[in-house]
C-alpha cells in the first residue's frame, strides 16, 4: 500500500469530491481515481459509492477511514520528525583525534563551529594513535581528525584543515642534527624506524610519509626491529640507531632534549582534515565540514 494512495483515500473521504481531492493532493482527478481503485483492489471491496452527482463512503470505506486516519497521522509525524532531525544541527558532536592531530587547528575549528551553532556542543576525544579508525567505524565518535591519505571505501575524506610540514626526527648528536634542513635523498643514508608491526593503520600512514626510494632511486631502508609502541621508536631515534620521517606536529608532543627535528624541504606537506563513516553522515557532520570551508583558508 503506497503512502500516496492512503493520502488520496483520506482526502477524498473528507472532501467527497474528486476535483477538490485532486487540488489538495496536487494531482489530477483521474490520478486520484486511479489511486482509489488501486486501494480497492488491494482491499478486495468498494470504498466509495460513485454517481455522476455525488461520492460517499461505503461502510467498508468508513471503517477503513477510522482505522487508517490515526496510523497515517502517526506515520507522517514520524517522517516529519526524521526530516527535521536530519536538518537539525543540535545536540552533541563527538570529534576524535590522536596526540599528533589534536592541535591548534582543531581547537580553532571547534570554537568557530560552536559560535555558528550554539545548540550543538563539541566533545573532543583522544583516540589511540595505533588505531583511531575503530572508534569511528563503531560510532564512538562522529568525526575523526587525521591525515587524508586513506582510500577506504566506507570512509568519507572531508575538507582539509591544515597541511603539516614534513620533518625528520633524529638524535641530538646525529649527523643530520647539524643541518638546518635535509632532503629526501638523505633518507637513503640512514635506517628509518619500523612501524609495520604497529597495526594496519600506522603501516598505511608510514607508506605515505616514508618514501620507498629516494629521488635518485636508492631504497629507503627500514630498521630490522619492529616497534611495539611509538615510545620504543623514539628511544631508537634518541640512541641514534634510526631516524623517523614524520610531520611537524610530532615535535609539539615530544619534549625530549635528546631528539631534534629537521625539515625535509622537498617532500610535500601532509593534509590534515576531517574523516567520517559514510553510513553515519548527518547534519551535524555536514555543518562541521562546512565550517572548515567557511572559516579556514588552507593553501
The CATH number assigned to the domain holding 16 equals 1.10.10.10
Residue 109 and residue 159 in one domain: yes
Mean pLDDT by 10-residue block, N- to C-terminus, for the chain (299 residues)?
Answer: 86 92 90 92 93 91 92 84 65 94 92 92 94 94 94 91 95 97 97 88 87 95 91 95 94 89 96 95 94 77
Write out the H or E segment, with its range, that includes residue 143. Answer: strand 143-147
Give me the domain span that covers residue 75.
Answer: 3-87
> Do residues 25 and 145 both lie within one domain?
no
In whole angstroms, what is the distance from residue 292 CA to residue 108 CA?
10
Domain match, 134 and 187 both:
no
pTM above 0.75, yes or no: no
Given 87, 104, 138, which residue is the final one in a domain?
87
Whether 263 and 190 map to the same domain: the answer is yes
The whole-number pLDDT of residue 298 equals 66
Q: How high is the pLDDT of residue 259?
A: 97
- Rounded to whole angstroms, the Cα distance separating 266 from 95 reads 32
* Same-domain check for residues 101 and 192: no
In this predicted structure, what is the pLDDT of residue 81?
65
Clarify whether residues 31 and 115 are in a common domain. no
Q: Do residue 212 and residue 67 come from a single domain?
A: no
| CATH number assigned to the domain comprising residue 111 | 3.40.190.10
Whether residues 173 and 258 share a domain: the answer is yes
Q: How far is CA 74 from CA 60, 67, 161, in A?
A: 22, 12, 43
Dist CA 92 CA 109 (whole Å): 15
Among 34, 58, 87, the domain-final residue is 87
Residues 98 and 156 in one domain: yes
Which of 87, 114, 146 corresponds to the end of one domain?
Answer: 87
Residues 211 and 235 occupy one common structural domain: yes
Q: Number of structural domains, the chain? A: 3
Amino acid at each position: 500500500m503506497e503512502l500516496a494512495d492512503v493520502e488520496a483515500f483520506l482526502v477524498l473521504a473528507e472532501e467527497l469530491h474528486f476535483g477538490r481531492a485532486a487540488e489538495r493532493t496536487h494531482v489530477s482527478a483521474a490520478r486520484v481515481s486511479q489511486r482509489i481503485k488501486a486501494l480497492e483492489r488491494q482491499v478486495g471491496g468498494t470504498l466509495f459509492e460513485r454517481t455522476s452527482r455525488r461520492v460517499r463512503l461505503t461502510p467498508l470505506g468508513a471503517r477503513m477511514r477510522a482505522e487508517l486516519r490515526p496510523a497515517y497521522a502517526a506515520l507522517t509525524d514520524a517522517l516529519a520528525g526524521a526530516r527535521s532531525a536530519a536538518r537539525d544541527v543540535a545536540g552533541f558532536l563527538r570529534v576524535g583525534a590522536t596526540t599528533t592531530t589534536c592541535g591548534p587547528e582543531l581547537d580553532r575549528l571547534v570554537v568557530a563551529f560552536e559560535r555558528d551553532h550554539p545548540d550543538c556542543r563539541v566533545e573532543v576525544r583522544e583516540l589511540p594513535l595505533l588505531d583511531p579508525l575503530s572508534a569511528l567505524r563503531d560510532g564512538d565518535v562522529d568525526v575523526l581528525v587525521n591525515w587524508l591519505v586513506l582510500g577506504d571505501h566506507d570512509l568519507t575524506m572531508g575538507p582539509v584543515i591544515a597541511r603539516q610540514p614534513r620533518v625528520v626526527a633524529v638524535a641530538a648528536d646525529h649527523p643530520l642534527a647539524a643541518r638546518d634542513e635535509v632532503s629526501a635523498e638523505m633518507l637513503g643514508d640512514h635506517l628509518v624506524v619500523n612501524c609495520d608491526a604497529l597495526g594496519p593503520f600506522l603501516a598505511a600512514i608510514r607508506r605515505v610519509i616514508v618514501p620507498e626510494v629516494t629521488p635518485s632511486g636508492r631504497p629507503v631502508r627500514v630498521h630490522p626491529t619492529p616497534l611495539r609502541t611509538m615510545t620504543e621508536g623514539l628511544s631508537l631515534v634518541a640512541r641514534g640507531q634510526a631516524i623517523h620521517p614524520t610531520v611537524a606536529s610530532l615535535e609539539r608532543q615530544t619534549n625530549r632534549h635528546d631528539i631534534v627535528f629537521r625539515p625535509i624541504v622537498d617532500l610535500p606537506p601532509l593534509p590534515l582534515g576531517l574523516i567520517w563513516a559514510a553510513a553515519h553522515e548527518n547534519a551535524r557532520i555536514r555543518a562541521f565540514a562546512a565550517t572548515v570551508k567557511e572559516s579556514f583558508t588552507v593553501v
